[in-house]
Amino acid sequence: MKRPLTFLLATLAFLSTGYALADLTDTIERVKPSIVVVGTYKKTNSPQFVLRGTGFVIANGNLIATNAHVVPESGDPDAPVLVIQARNASGETQIRQAVLVSRDRNHDLAVLRIEGAALPALKLRNSDTVREGQLIAFTGFPIGGALGFSPVTHRGMVSSITPIALPGGNAQQLNEKVIRRIKKGTFNIFQLDATAYPGNSGSPVFDQESGEVIGVINMVFIKGTKESALSQPSGITYAIPANHLLEGLAVQ
């Protein structure tokens, strides 16, 4: 008895989805050792460690990329120390002191340097090659570590490549952030159909198959300009293209 064409097509679709998921599980396994918690530490504080966001290892394994707003501004010598929390090859948690190498306020990106043995680094891809509909995933610490300090991965796609700020339809839709951004010049960002949370700030957005980083999740900087006209916050997630991070590394 011949099977109907619809059955064959459904089978092929199921198999192709299975292969895609298998690729992603392998990619997550490769990416997770490069994901770190960015926070501050002070022995006399309670709690001693405070999570500020997510970071990921790049370059030679001693540099950490994250959002600029994740890194505290304080220059007070008595302020908590900037640290990252990572896991070594055996899975044990380790805390390392970090220093700020560069801060790109215009794109809300920062690079930190850590001492000690190099950690596994992620490769940055030319984000000009990204296309709408491309399958992506991102890994980080959602909701500020409320779910624990185990890296969590979300998957989705690039739903739009769009300017970070658009002139409002009327004066009520303009605020100081939007005006400042338009004066500085807009740039394109990635709009994603996956939901991120505040603790995901600084998470790498990577290609599901290769694991190459195409962007950096941003939960504060972009929403203040892109969604200024909305009376209620949306579940839309945005990312800064990785090329802005590459440009910053090139001038160091």
Check whether residue 54 and residue 166 sit in a common domain.
Answer: no
Lowest-pLDDT range of 4-8, 66-70, 78-82, 166-170: 166-170
Q: Report if residue 223 sits inside a domain.
A: yes
The answer to whether residue 4 is domain-embedded is no
Strands 63-66 and 49-58: antiparallel
Q: How many domains does the chain fold into?
A: 2
Give the best-scoring range by mean pLDDT among 85-94, 175-184, 215-224.
Answer: 85-94
Question: Phi and psi dihedrals of 179, rounded to 5?
Answer: -60, -45
Any idea what the Cα angle at residue 110 is, between residues 211 and 108, rounded to 5°? 95
- Report the C-alpha gap between 99 and 105 in whole angstroms: 17
Residue 231 sits in the same domain as residue 140: yes
Average pLDDT over residues 92-107: 93
Which CATH number goes with the domain that contains 106? 2.40.10.10
Is 163 buried (19+), middle (13-18) or exposed (0-12) by CB count in 10 A?
middle
Residue 169's pLDDT is 46
Report whether pLDDT(29) > 60: yes
Give me the pLDDT at residue 231, please. Answer: 54
Closest CA relative to residue 51, chosen from 231, 204, 218, 199: 199
Higher pLDDT, 241 or 11: 241
Q: How confident is the model at residue 120 (pLDDT cuts 50, 70, 90)?
A: very high
CA distance 35 to 85: 9
Average pLDDT of 182-201? 84
Tell me whether residue 134 is in a domain: yes
Q: Which residues is 140 bridged to in the sheet?
A: 152
In a domain, 120, yes or no: no
The more confident residue out of 192 and 75 is 192
Per-residue CA distances from 6 to 3, 10, 18, 38, 154 (Å): 8, 6, 18, 50, 31
What is the pTM for the complete model shown? Answer: 0.82
Residues 131 and 233 in one domain: yes
The pLDDT, as a whole number, for residue 192 is 95
51 inside domain: yes
The answer to whether 3 and 50 have CB atoms below 8 angstroms apart is no
Higher pLDDT, 87 or 14: 87
Six token digits for residue 157: 């796609």
Share of the chain above pLDDT 70, in %: 75
Which pLDDT does position 156 carry in this prediction? 95
- Average pLDDT over every residue of 20-38: 89
- Residue 162 phi/psi, 5° resolution? -140, 155
182 located within any domain: yes
Mean pLDDT of 15-39: 81
What is the per-residue pLDDT for 234? 62
Give residue 183's pLDDT: 57
Top pLDDT among 198 and 226 is at: 198
Whether residue 131 is found in the same domain as residue 240 = yes
Residue 2 lies in a domain: no
- What is the domain extent for residue 37? 33-114
The 3-state secondary structure of the chain reads CCCCHHHHHHHHHHHHHHHHHHHHHHHHHHHHHHEEEEEEECCCCCCCEEEEEEEEEECCCCEEEECHHHCCCCCCCCCCEEEEEEECCCCCEEEEEEEEEEEECCCCEEEEEECCCCCCCCCECCHHHCCCCCEEEEEECHHHHCCCCCCEEEEEEEEEEEECCCCCCCHHHCCHHHHHHHHHCCCEEEEECCCCCHHHCCCEEEECCCCCEEEEEECCCCHHHHCCCCCCCCCCEEEEECHHHHHHHHCC
Instruction: Tell me, yes or no, whether 222 and 110 share the same domain.
Output: no
* Region of 183 on the Ramachandran plot (φ > 0 left; ψ -120 to 50 alpha; else beta): alpha
Q: Is the same domain home to 157 and 239?
A: yes
Structural domain contains residue 14: no
Q: pLDDT tens for residues 57-82?
A: 999 999 999 999 999 987 777 889 99
Which domain-ending residue is among 114, 149, 166?
114
